[in-house]
Chains A and B, each alone.
Chain A
Amino acid sequence: MSSSTYVQLVDLAKYFGKVKALDGLSLDIAQGELVALLGPSGCGKTTALRALAGLQELDRGQLMVDGKDVTFQSASKRGMGMVFQAYSLFPHMTARENVEYGLKLRTHKISSQKRKERSAELLELVALSTHANHYPYQLSGGQQQRIALARALAISPKVLLLDEPLSALDAKVRTQLREEIRRIQMELGTTTLFVTHDQEEALSIADRVGVMRNGQLEQIAAPSELYDRPKTSFVAEFVGLTNPISGKVSGGSIEVLGSVVKTLRWINKSNLWQGLRWLN
C-alpha cells in the first residue's frame, strides 16, 4: 500500500494453546476505507479486530494507527469506536446517555451543551432522534445496534471496528442497517474494519474484502475481483455459490468428469477462475 495507509497490522500472531487464532496476519487499511474480514468461524477474524481494539493481547506483531505504534497502548486510550455483536448498550442509561458516555470520559472540558449537540447530531445520523430518552430495553435489536453505532462514532474514533454487528438481527433489518452503516461510513469518511462471516454482507458494503483462514489472510481484494478471480480454491468455495468440480484445463477446453468442454475464451493461469465462471 502507498502513503495513504492509515492502519497497519503487521505479522500478528496469537495462539490459544495449540489453536492458531492469528498466525502471521498482515493487513493495511487506507484512510477512509472500509475493509471487511470474512471467514468461517474460528478463522481469527474477531481476534484480529479485538487486537486492534486493544481488547486482545498478542503473542507477536505490531499495530500502527496513523503512523503511531499502538501495540502496547491500553484499549481505553486507543480511541477506537467499537460496535459489538449485540447487547452492548449500558442498560441503566438512556440512548442519549449511552451516546454521550464516551464524550463524558474523553473530553472533560467540553461543555454539557456541546455534548448534547454532538449526541443529538449522532442520533440524527442514525435516525433515532425520537428515541433519545428511551432505555435500551425499550428499543428493538436494530435500534439498539444503531445507538451502539452512534455511541462508537460519538468519540470521533480513529478507526471504527464492527464485530459482526448485524448477525443478531433478522434478515430484513440486516440488509437495511448494512446500507445505513455504509452510508454513514462514507459520509464521515471513517476508516473502518468490519468483521463478518456473511459473504453477502462483506461483498456488498466493503471497499476491499479479506478472506481469512486459519489465522492468515488468504486473499484481499475488491469484492468484484475476489468474486471473479479468487486466488485459491478456499476463497473460491467460500465466496459465491459454487460447486467445485475438479478438471484439467488446456487452452480453449477443459476436461471435466471425463468429457471435454470448450470454453468461451482462451483460458490461461491468470484468468483461470474467471474462465471457469464463463462455463455457466
Chain B
Amino acid sequence: MLILPYTYRSLSAALDAVDIHTLAEAATTLGAGISRVIFGIIMPTIKTGIINGSFIAIALVLGEFTISNILNFKTFQVVIAQIGRTDGQVAVAVSVASLLFVLVLLLLIPNKKRQGAVLDVDVA
C-alpha cells in the first residue's frame, strides 16, 4: 500500500507524456478492440513508466521494516530481524544477499537507460 503513490506518480507521468487518448482513438479507427488498444498500444507506449514504477516499488519494499513490524506482518525484513535474534550469522548473510540484489538492480537500471540514450544519439 505504501508504494502506491510512487508507482501511481510514475505511471501517470508516463501517461501524461504522450497523448494517449488520441493514440487509443487512432488504434480504434484502425480496427483495434479494447484489449488490443490496452496491451498493444498503451502498455508498450508507457513501458518505461511501468519499469520505473516497478523499480521504485522494489526499492521501497526491500527497505520497508517499521510498519510491517508494528502491524505484525511477516515480510522479508521482519523475518530477518527475527532470525537475527536467534542466529546472527544467517541474518547477516541474508541481509548481505538482499543488499547485493539491490546492487544488481542498481547496475541494471542505468544500463537500460544508457541503451536508450545511445539510441537517441543514433537518431540525431
Contact = CB atoms under 8 A, between A and B. Distances in A.
Contacts of B31: 76-77, 79, 102, 105-106, 155
Interface in B1-47: 18-19, 22-23, 25-33, 36, 41, 44-45, 47
A151 B30 contact: yes
A274 to B, nearest CB: 41
Per DSSP, chain B at the interface is helix
A148 B27 CA distance: 11
A88 B22 contact: yes
A149 B23 CA distance: 14
B33 A76 contact: yes
B67 interface: no
Contacts of A53: 29
A165 interface: no
Nearest to A84: B22
A81 B29 CA distance: 7
B45 A105 contact: no
A137 B36 CA distance: 23
B123 A138 contact: yes
B29 A101 contact: no
Contacts of A78: 29
A90 B27 contact: yes
A78 B29 CA distance: 7
B26 to A, nearest CB: 4
Interface of B: 18-19, 22-23, 25-33, 36, 41, 44-45, 47, 123
Given A87-B22, A106-B31, A161-B29, 14 more contacts: A55-B25, A75-B29, A76-B31, A82-B29, A84-B25, A88-B22, A88-B23, A90-B26, A90-B44, A105-B32, A106-B30, A137-B123, A151-B26, A155-B30
